[in-house]
Structure 1
């Protein structure tokens, strides 16, 4: 028997946990990250993720996607996405696997140059 699809509150809760690992609202205020988008667990997507837009930074990336893996670690992707002839083109992609929650703020700072807290 298939597991029922998650409701919107479960998706929000999983995304909020990922955001809290980064520093929560303080992270958003300090970094200028915006336009958060989340996906919860489904039959076709077993790993919940949180994506956000980033302001200009040292790495030249404008997107961050953090995916919770079954090992209770994260896969973190920084990349630059733009539309070219109505097609999304991804460049400057940096992927980090097996990142623990407590290491997310430090990784963010090392890639973008932005502090995540005062």
Structure 2
């Protein structure tokens, strides 16, 4: 057996910043959001993003994806994704562009009905 420490999960810095603007761990606890997935900036992906699953809410969406745009604003997508015959089907899509970091929490609350903090 090796005593080497387990590898740490890779942190995508831009996605971490997005999560912090939403409220960080308090946001995750208050909203029940989970299964976070992120992509950082690369040659093939110029716009980093953060995606998460959401619990049942008033908008009937189960996913949210926040993409950092070149204008230093965010594109926020709320949608419902289900598998039908192993193919993803998207419905209830709502897209908000030119969203500032300070407005992320209020937008989340207005769409889902969940508070992001106490």
Fold shared per TM-score above 0.5: yes
What is aligned with 1:60? 60
The structure whose residues are more often helix, as a share, is 1
What is aligned with 1:85? 85
* Cα distance per residue 1:5-27 (max 9 Å; x no partner): xxx85x52111100001000000
* Cα distance per residue 1:22-66 (max 9 Å; x no partner): 000000000000000000111111000000000000000000000
What is aligned with 1:103? 103
Q: Which runs of structure 1 show a deviation greater than 6 angstroms over 4 or more consecutive aligned residues?
A: none
> Are 2:13 and 2:40, in contact at CA under 8 Å, matched by a contact in 1?
no
Aligned length: 110
> Are 2:109 and 2:115, in contact at CA under 8 Å, matched by a contact in 1?
yes
What is the TM-score with the length of structure 2 in the denominator? 0.90
Q: Mark the structure with the bigger radius of gyration.
A: 2
What is aligned with 1:5? none
What is aligned with 1:30? 30
Cα RMSD of the aligned pairs, angstroms, is 1.1
SS at match of 1:47: coil
